[in-house]
A and B are shown apart, each in its own frame.
Chain A
């Protein structure tokens, strides 16, 4: 089992819709969870972080964490064409704060 798994996608939604991106992880004692966005040909950039169960909102983005089920998700409300990118889930675990990424899911927002 891979340490961090994301639905392979791609995911396509119409402009204005809610995009839902999911991620599961295998290390039960993982500490911190991140979502990175990567535009084609660019480097990943951090958009959200979450460490405790529940929801965390930042503008149009909401991260959700459920440690009992070992999943973390990202909701993007009112999706815009500029949100079209690959979204990478990252999980930090271990005493040395190892940061492991999922393979990412490509989101396409149709105008």
Chain B
């Protein structure tokens, strides 16, 4: 059963530390989304990629967040320095443009999420 793999599942760190979250998309999927979920804001889109190229990262605080896809099997989201307000669950989701639905529609499969707590 194909799935999106995220690591770490849980991370507790202190303010000011660097945090790196990793995502392995489903093999063959060419689109990767990063979302952040909190009770107050719900699911917020941070950045997304197609064929490893960034399409939109307007939802991401540029001064401390960065997202990359060094290769087709790995997407990373880095926070440096981390702050308590970054505490949230970070989801990675992958999809394949044109799969099943009308051309252009992404069917996204979500990873289990990385729960980040910044003290």
Contacts and interface: CB of A to CB of B under 8 A. Distances in A.
Interface of A: 31-32, 42-46, 49, 51, 88, 92, 96-104
A88 B104 contact: no
A48 to B, nearest CB: 12
A47 to B, nearest CB: 12
Interface string B30-45: 0101010000011101
B107 A46 contact: yes
Contacts of A49: 101, 105, 107
10 contacts: A43-B110, A46-B107, A49-B101, A92-B105, A97-B105, A98-B48, A98-B55, A98-B56, A101-B42, A101-B45
Contacts, number: 60
B41 to A, nearest CB: 7
Contacts of B107: 46, 49
A103 B41 contact: yes
A43 B111 contact: yes
Contact of A99 (B41, B42, B45, B101): B45
Interface residues of B, number: 25
B105 A46 contact: no
B112 to A, nearest CB: 6
A97 B41 contact: no
A51 B105 CA distance: 10
Contacts of B101: 32, 49, 51
A32 B102 contact: yes
A43 B113 contact: yes
Contact of A96 (B56, B91, B108): B56
